[in-house]
Amino acid sequence: MLANAQWLSNRTYILLAVIITTLGIATIVGEVLSRREPMGIESALIARFKHKVRVWWMMLAIFVFGFVLHRVGVVVLFGFVSFWALREFITMTPTRRGDHRTLFWVFFIFTPLQYILIGLGSSPPSWITTDPNRDFYDFYSIMIPVYASLFIPARAAIAGDYKRFLERSAKIQSGLLICVYSLSYAPALLDLDLVQTGKIPWNGSNVSLLVFFVLIAQLASVFERAWGKLAGRKVIAEKINASRTWEGFLGSMVTTGLVAAALSWATPFHPWEAWILGAVVTVMACAGTMTMSAIKRDRGVTDTGTLVQGHAGLLDQIDTICFAAPVFYHLTRFFWSV
């Protein structure tokens, strides 16, 4: 990390204050709307809005707790989130006895190892390596897509169960890739040496960038639903998700980009750069939502689990982050880091 890097800067506190204020206003609006139900607003829509706000409050509290524990705390926090999300993913589809030992490796070896490598990052302790310039990105960027992906079918084959072999192996590989590998790139943002365009040093906090990313990834889904309700006509894939429309998708790209541009002061991006990244995150967020909807339709389930009573599971809340994290990370690493 850069020598002058800060863990929490004034920009971080201001960004968190903006989020808390916005959630407070959203909570009040939800309560007011619920008491004025006869005015034509659907009660189910109001209930969903209130549940979503409740989930955001919980996510914010968990994030703040992780920030208090510094970078290691955030990495451990995302590790637990990955573990729980992978559990929900695997639970959606039945497993056979021959998969149990493979799943042991997936849950208790590869998942912790991925986050240990993320935690080591570009500044590992001296007792780990004698090379002070060792960057463990070289390891965590390939460990799951290469070594774990080869190990999983081989270990399943050793178990001797050949029934639906390809389906079972692909399911485990997909769960590990989405829930662990992809999501792990969110805390990896904390390890980047950030600069502005032109390699101008940036004296902000990487925490601000992480909060910014998670916020716009969540807002992308909200804006997509909102625009779909207001102007939605052409459904993207009716048999997969009847509520996702092209109008909602395009409206979300513009709106999320504008919000990202308005919050660019908390990041190393210029407003127009933040707008582009907001649009990119929207594309990936939509891809995540549609992919998880297809998986749930295939499995015949409505939600991946139960996180908050009446409001889906953990994986349903973070599918946008899972798909957007590696793309956002690599764009930032390529254009805005040294």
Question: Is the Cα dihedral 20, 26, 29, 30 positive or negative?
Answer: negative
Nearest Cα neighbor of 151 from 128, 124, 169 is 169
146-196 tens-digit pLDDT: 999 999 999 999 988 888 899 899 999 999 999 999 999 999 999 999 999
Predicted pLDDT of residue 1: 44
Predicted pLDDT of residue 5: 57
Q: Which phi and psi angles does 194 have, rounded to 5°?
A: -85, 140
Nearest Cα neighbor of 187 from 80, 305, 315 is 80
Predicted pLDDT of residue 157: 93
Q: Are 244 and 289 in contact (CB under 8 A)?
A: yes
Predicted pLDDT of residue 256: 96
- How far is Cα of residue 251 from the mean position of the Cα atoms in its chain? 21
Whole-prediction pTM value?
0.90
Q: Are 203 and 7 in contact (CB under 8 A)?
A: no
* Residues of the chain where predicted confidence (pLDDT) is lower than 70: 1-5, 36-44, 126-127, 130, 132, 303-312
CB crowding 134-159: b at 16 or more within 10 Å, else e:
bebbebbbebbeeebbebbbebbeeb
Q: What share of the chain is helix, strand, coil (3-state, %, to 5)?
A: 70, 5, 25
Q: Are 299 and 305 in contact (CB under 8 A)?
A: no
Q: Are 288 and 320 in contact (CB under 8 A)?
A: yes
> Strands, DSSP E only, in 67-188?
none
Predicted pLDDT of residue 4: 41
**CB-neighbour burial class of residue 36 (10 A; exposed 0-12, middle 13-18, buried 19+):** exposed
Q: How far is the C-alpha of 181 from the C-alpha of 265, rounded, in Å?
A: 29
Q: Are 208 and 15 in contact (CB under 8 A)?
A: yes
Predicted pLDDT of residue 54: 85
